[in-house]
A and B are shown apart, each in its own frame.
Chain A
């Protein structure tokens, strides 16, 4: 398997522009997570999905952020409008809990998207 795929790997944009980050989870995984990593705040969970349904979006910073998972193999995280304080590395991760309900399952991380908002 190719692992979790994220695109783009790097994004530079200007304040006010819309930014869309993309993620393809590992085939067969039924959980998908979006994280943000900054020096100041460390690794933060933004939102996660189970079977394409958002389960917990309490980490989404504000209404400018939205995430969708239209099918089991694709998710997007959108920022509109973007601001300089959104500059961070955004990670997508996936895991499979099916049939392993009594065991902690590993989250597999993508390589991340490094976002810079000028």
Chain B
């Protein structure tokens, strides 16, 4: 069974500061990993995904994440926060092809990012 743990339900940073949102996963098979962002009153939008190519993945809006197998982590970072980054962020895991739950995403509980001036 797969699971995702996001450490910290709320993260607050100053504009221009580093953003670090933590995600740890548990999976019995090599996973695919995703970060989604949800702006208020909207659906989820993909930020980036790891699919067993490069371990450092770059996404939209200056975000990136690094897959670390030894730490079972996939933390999301951005060097300099912008006010428009304020949103809720979800980490998710899915199985490789051949898994019984192929195609299904398991989401973390989400982290609300607040950016203050």
Q: Flag whether B25 is at the interface (Cβ < 8 A).
A: no
Question: C-beta contact mask, A89-114 vs B, less than 8 Å → 1, else 0?
Answer: 00101010100011111111111100
**Chain A stretch 60-118: residues in CB contact (< 8 A) with chain B:** 91, 93, 95, 97, 101-112
Q: How many residues of B contact A (CB 8 A)?
A: 26
Q: How many of chain A's residues touch chain B, expressed as a range?
A: 20 to 34
- Residues from chain B with a CB closer than 8 A to the CB of A4 are 43
Partner of B49, one of A48, A101, A106: A106
Residues facing A in B81-117 (CB within 8 A) are 90, 94, 96-97, 101-110
**How many pairs of A and B residues are in contact by the CB < 8 Å rule?**
60
A95→B109 CA distance, assembly (Å): 22
CB contacts under 8 Å to A, within B66-85, are none
Please determine whether A110 and B43 come into contact, CB atoms closer than 8 angstroms. yes
| Chain A CB within 8 A of B46 CB | yes
Q: Is A18 an interface residue (CB 8 A)?
A: no
Residue in B33, B97, B107, B108 whose beta carbon sits within 8 Å of that of A101 in the complex: B97
CB pair A109 B109 closer than 8 Å:
no
Q: Report the separation of the CA atoms of residues A30 and B101 in the bound assembly, to the nearest whole angstrom.
A: 15
Whether A19 is near chain B, meaning CB under 8 Å from some CB there, is no
Residue of A whose beta carbon sits closest to that of B97? A101
